[in-house]
Amino acid sequence: MLGLNVILFLALHLLHRVKSSMVNLNNNGYDGIVIAINPSVPEDEKLIQNIKEMVTEASAYLFHATERRVYFRNVHILIPMTWKSKSDYLMPKQESYDQADVIVANPYLKYGDDPYTLQYGQCGEKGRYIHFTPNFLLTNNLPIYGSRGRVFVHEWAHLRWGIFDEYNVDRPFYISSKNTIEATRCSTNITGINVVFKKCQGGSCITKPCRRDSQTGLYEVKCTFIPEKSQTTKESIMFMQSLDSVSEFCTAETHNTEAPNLQNKMCNHRSTWDVIMKSDDFQNAHPMTEVNPPPHPTFSLLKSKQRVVCLVLDKSGSMDSEDRLFRMNQAAELYLIQIIEKGSLVGMVTFDSSAIIQNYLTKITDENTYQIITANLPQVANGGTSICSGLKLGFQAIIQSNQSTSGSEIILLTDGEDDKISSCFAEVKQSEVIIHTIALGPSAAKELETLSNMTGGHRFFANKDINGLTDAFSRISSRSGSITQQAIQLESKALSITGRKWVNGTVPVDSTIGNDTFFVVTWTIQKPEILLKDPKGKKYKTSDFKEDKLNIRSARLRIPGIAETGTWTYSLLNNHVNSQMLTVTMTSRARSPTTPPVIATAHMSQDTAHYPSPMIVYAQVSQGFLPVLGVNVTAVIETEDGHQGILELWDNGAGADTIKNDGIYSRYFKDYRGNGRYSLKVLAQARKNTSRLSLRQRQNKALYVPGYTENGKIILNPSRSELKDDMVEAELEDFSRLTSGGSFTVSGAPPVTDHTHVFPPSKITDLEAKFQDDHIQLSWTAPGNVLDEGKAKSYIIRISKYLLDLQENFDNATLVNISSLIPKEAGSIENFEFKQELFKIENGTQLYIAIQTINEANLTSEISNIAQANKFIPPQESSVPALSTKISAISFAIWGFAVILSIF
């Protein structure tokens, strides 16, 4: 029986996680924050000093903003291996660049220095990381963003509490319920002026008042809100933290529920403070009663170390079934030859009832060192399963090679049950090692995930074919942030081929990759005939492929030099009379150390799901930090019984997807088929020149303030280059990327069921409305019958002259006749027009509209976002005198672009 401490330990480490952040909140202080500097950033002592000053200032500002509830207690700054060693640099434990809370990295293509948070979960869900550029940390941005400490708190609120910005650069103005035009902000107590800049010359600017657009009734496109420098209002940090008076978040009393911003859209018009107070952090963080402020944060400087990996591989008797030992050896060999980075130290331990060190740490330098290790892969499976024996000898293999287990990695692969894993939990925790677990088959020990969770490692589940294993191994790359050194998976396909038959396929190789490119074929019975042809027609035949000496049924070709850009074609002939399973794997690395490759990453919204809680699949496709759009992204989710579900992911800003065209492809997962482990892998393909690189500024960032008014004058900040419409996107070549999203665990789910009676349609989040003469035109993205899949049964559309009617009393608002409206397939664009006859329509009329969706089981969705339609008849043109305003800088930035009348 497990002791009480172990049970508590398990409970702590099996909580839902999105990312292995090491931050804990203890007695009002945040511990374990990791700020990691990218290896490509040049060494600069000032960078470290400014990070310390930023966090110190942020701690005091955060303490006040949260009403004395939380502050920053200790922070780890992770120094890259590329910097010189110093006596005060310590050894990292489980801290790494790829799981840092804050990263410091240069933008790609001079993307800009706006600090932002990569945040694409739902309201209240933690973000992925905060991104600061070295330039932001080293130069004076005070007039533009305010102090760096204030900016850090703005971003921390995104990252830690899942709240969103209260401005909107795409919809900078809206018409309020009082029929006034307001700047999108929170709170409305922040004052300023709205002007259009006509001409700047000789130290002065000509400005003019903003005119109303004849179509929208809002201000013209070039209208800019310039806040007053001197304010008295204290909120809100999520609008404009740069104002001296701003020191609090918007509360229910000060929140602007009408503003068309992401906070209102994502959090159903709740205030930022309301969301923060309901976060896990604040359930037990009560205001501190001490008179003195909390102490300044303490900082530790950690320098990344050489990569140390020890394979701990199961060779127990159960590994003899279903070719598991063969498949493990095939995948481990692929990892050693193609995936792990040169210069890494690698060891190997095998275990059954006991364990043996097969290899102490060996530095990977060339092909000979690979072969030394692969020669020791186990050839015979027998005995019991003692996972702790394997782990303990893994620790020994590292220590006896004069390395520390702290920060080293273990890849643990096993298919067996072992009820004694908990006996070494304490030793694992003390070792400070990072354990990646690969559960092979349905019977692997259920506590494996605990080992990964408690050490910050990846967790995988692989079923019956080799691909699950190769995908898992391929995902375990360096955690240092050196993307250009990492292996990238282009293809991973299992092909069941009947006797004497050919099978053909293609793989595009784009110009961001091509170094160290491998093409590997495995088989189950007999080696096939292999023909590989590059884009210029050069052929590689079976004889060009190197067959492994260990007889593990794999043949490998390393493409000489740089692989040709374009479409590669392969053909395989099964020479055997019987059917056999063939697999194809292709990997490559970045072509140039200065050009980041296109990459794809994937994960589930949580590691564990309790039916009927829906989960979300997320995949990010990017180059550098820029989103890649127009990609065909498909998730494959496999259960323990081998069932594979296919799910197309969307970047359309509807359903599970937070923001349209941000390179984050999302979809609800609801195809539950029993309990246990599920695996996720994602294929991202760009074919026929459909993909493009987006150069637009990211959402969820500190607002760039164009200027202020002070003593009746406009003081403008230095301008920044704005992209022209024809430069916001760049075409990309065809590419293919495959990545594992790890595994997740499901409980409480029936074996197979019709989910129509369980999940309602997803909420409509992009409803828009406008007047066309005396008609109202609506448009939105169709939700599904079950969340975002299928075709709903019907819609309910209601209309009111008052926003609160729809927010608080939707069922009693006026019903719109929709007898002619038949729902379309999920993801389709719906358009509906109707004539409103119940309300008198005149100049200045405002109407609010919202929708609910009903599915075949009569389950109803949440109420949609509330759209606003305004009737505006432009007045007769009159001449307006231009205003001349002296300013201190002649350059300016336009804050805001096209406006559509909609309230989120």
Give, for 582, the enclosing helix (H) or strand (E).
strand 580-590
Distance separating alpha carbons of residues 300 and 74, to the nearest angstrom: 8
Half-sphere exposure in the Cβ direction for 34 (13 Å, CA):
26
Q: Dihedrals φ, ψ of 811, to 5°?
A: -65, -20
Q: Where are the alpha helices (DSSP H) in 115-245?
A: 134-138, 142-145, 148-161, 237-240
The residue with tokens 């930022």 is 272
Q: Nearest CA to 359 among 341, 375, 381?
A: 375
Distance separating alpha carbons of residues 188 and 768, to the nearest angstrom: 23
Distance separating alpha carbons of residues 492 and 757, to the nearest angstrom: 36
Token digits of residue 531: 């023909």
End-to-end CA gap in the chain: 53
Distance separating alpha carbons of residues 516 and 592, to the nearest angstrom: 12
Q: Which of 57, 95, 125, 155 is catalytic?
A: 155
Distance separating alpha carbons of residues 622 and 635, to the nearest angstrom: 17
Within its chain, how far is the Cα of 582 from the centroid? Answer: 33
Q: At what angle do helices 4-13 and 448-455 cross, to 10 degrees?
A: 70
DSSP for 348-368?
Answer: EEEESSSEEEEEEEEE--SHH
Please classify residue 613 by burial: count the beta carbons closer than 10 Å to its beta carbon, then call 0-12 exposed, 13-18 middle and 19+ buried. Answer: middle
| 851 beta partners | 797
Alpha carbon distances (Å) from 282 to 69, 126, 156, 269, 279:
8, 14, 14, 20, 6
Q: Is 202 left (phi over 0), alpha (psi -120 to 50) or beta?
A: left
Half-sphere exposure in the Cβ direction for 412 (13 Å, CA):
37
Token digits of residue 520: 């590997």
Indicate the length of the chain as a whole number. Answer: 904
Q: What does R_g of the chain's alpha carbons equal in angstroms?
A: 29
Please classify residue 658 by burial: count the beta carbons closer than 10 Å to its beta carbon, then call 0-12 exposed, 13-18 middle and 19+ buried. Answer: buried
Give, for 573, the enclosing helix (H) or strand (E).
strand 566-573
| 78 beta partners | 36, 302
Q: Dihedrals φ, ψ of 388, to 5°?
A: -60, -35
125 is catalytic: no
Half-sphere exposure in the Cβ direction for 523 (13 Å, CA):
23
Distance separating alpha carbons of residues 438 and 469, to the nearest angstrom: 8
Instruction: Catalogue the E-assigned strands of 393-501.
Output: 409-414, 434-440, 459-462, 488-497
Task: Catalogue the active-site residues.
Answer: 155
